[in-house]
Amino acid sequence: MKITVIGAGHVGATAAHRIAEKQLANTVVLLDIVEGIPQGKALDMYESGPVGLFDTMVFGTNDYSDTADSDIVLITAGLARKPGMSREDLLMKNAAIVREVTDQVMQYSKNPIIIMVSNPLDIMTHVGYVRSKLPKERILGMAGVLDSARFRSFIAKELNVSMQDINAFVLGGHGDSMVPVVKYTSVAGIPLTELLPQQTIDQLVERTRKGGAEIVNYLKDGSAYYAPAASCVEMIDAIVNDRKRILPCSALLEGQYGIDNIFIGAPVKLGKNGIEQILEINLDKPEIEALRKSAAIVEENCNNLAPLLA
């Protein structure tokens, strides 16, 4: 198993280290446009092997030929937002980067599974899909696992219970219009609505929607990376170990939920072939409307990018 991580910044480097530590691949390639950074970070990671107890080969490069025949490619290259910015403010610059990166990746790997991370996430996943020409099962975006993890962590803190017992789904686009689905949120199988008053649930939902901005406002010069990297690795683990996990991921919808030809967060079954199924769960009317509204925002941004995608 060969896994390439494009972008040796905060998310990319943290994810590469976790992949190596968990021995999810024999080889991890870390690639960045900046010379020296991927080489130095990868060597540092590799040298942690004897004490971290892993044998994964990790190496850094600026040369795409080193990524040849990758099984999985995680794309984290691009700009991160600063306080006051929305993810959509990164659209044009990151679309140009993701386009170039995807083209380069596909020159050397014929049939990888690509996991997009760069923002604005759902739109960048669309860019990756159009440029890579991969089957829709083999390109997906990471956001729902992260947004759900944030929601789960806030619930665990509020109730003072283990995070392990909390199930939650955040669907929709990875932006302010994301859709935390309270109906399917439970603590050890007990519906959240039986454990917390609606007002508290509403506050946790709102905090989840603004979870990315909360971190950006603390960091000032970049965005979250520990929880994002952990979320990427959960998806990679599901694919590498063919776990058939049901996880919220940005996937190409073709009619599900009344949404067509748009990448957006939906529950998917993730295994060795990538997206093995998109689940169409029963949503209440306000949730369906919120999901479609979220999809409309993604669609509008994709339309703005049409000239760049050609």
Ligand X SMILES: O=C(O)C[C@H](O)C(=O)O
Q: Which stretch binds ligand X (CB under 6 A): 25-33, 35-43, 129-137, 209-217?
A: 209-217
Binding of residue 212 to ligand X (CB under 6 A): yes
Tell me the two tokens of residue 275. Answer: 């997206």
> Which residue in the set 97, 216, 278, 302 belongs to the binding site for ligand NAD (CB under 6 A)?
97
Question: What are the two backbone dihedrals, phi and then psi, of residue 230, each rounded to the nearest 5 degrees?
Answer: -60, -35
**Residues 75-94 close enough to bind ligand X by CB under 6 A:** 81, 87
| CA atoms of 55 and 140, how far apart (whole Å) | 28
Q: Does 117 bind ligand NAD (CB under 6 A)?
A: yes
Tell me how far apart the alpha carbons of residues 247 and 231 are, in angstroms, rounded to a whole number: 10
Number of C-beta neighbours around residue 133 at 10 A: 9
The entry of ligand X, ligand NAD, none that residue 216 binds, CB within 5 to 8 Å by partner kind: ligand X
> One of 18, 41, 138, 174 is an active-site residue; which one?
174
Q: Which of 3, 25, 45, 80 binds ligand NAD (CB under 6 A)?
A: 80
Task: Compute the distance between CA of residue 274 and CA of residue 210 in angstroms, rounded to an integer.
Answer: 29
Is 11 a known ligand-binding residue?
yes
Q: Kindly indicate which of the ranges 18-26, 193-201, 217-225, 271-279 contains the residues binding ligand NAD, using the contact rule CB under 6 A.
A: 217-225
Do the annotations mark residue 165 as ligand-binding?
no
224 binding ligand X? (CB under 6 A): yes
147 carries a ligand binding annotation = no
Per CB under 6 A, contacts with ligand X among 144-183 are 146, 174
Rule CB under 6 A: choose which of 119, 125, 208, 294 binds ligand X. Answer: 119
Residues 226-255 binding ligand X (CB under 6 A) are 228
17 catalytically annotated: no
**Could you say which of 28, 216, 266, 270 contacts ligand X (CB under 6 A)?**
216
Residues 35, 62: contact at Cβ < 8 Å? yes
Q: Is 81 annotated as a binding residue?
A: yes
CB of 216 to ligand X, least distance (A): 5
HEC assignment per residue over the chain: CEEEEECCCHHHHHHHHHHHHCCCCCEEEEECCCCCHHHHHHHHHHHCHHHHCCCCEEEEECCHHHHCCCCEEEECCCCCCCCCCCHHHHHHHHHHHHHHHHHHHHHHCCCCEEEECCCCHHHHHHHHHHHHCCCHHHEEECCHHHHHHHHHHHHHHHHCCCHHHEECCEEECCCCCCEECHHHCEECCEEHHHCCCHHHHHHHHHHHHCHHHHHHHHHCCCCCCHHHHHHHHHHHHHHHCCCCEEEEEEEEEECHHHCEEEEEEEEEEEECCEEEEECCCCCCHHHHHHHHHHHHHHHHHHHHHHHHHC
Nearer to ligand X, 87 or 99 (CB): 87
- Scanning 199-207, 222-230, 252-260, 297-305 for contacts with ligand X by CB under 6 A, the matching segment is 222-230
Q: Does residue number 7 form part of the binding site for ligand NAD (CB under 6 A)?
A: yes
Among 25, 146, 278, 297, binds ligand NAD (CB under 6 A): 146
Pick the piece of the chain touching ligand NAD (CB under 6 A) from 50-58, 74-82, 255-263, 278-286.
74-82
# binding residues, ligand X (CB under 6 A):
11
Binding residues for NAD(+): 7-12, 32, 94, 117-119
Query: Which residues lie near ligand X (CB under 6 A)?
Result: 81, 87, 119, 146, 174, 212, 215-216, 223-224, 228
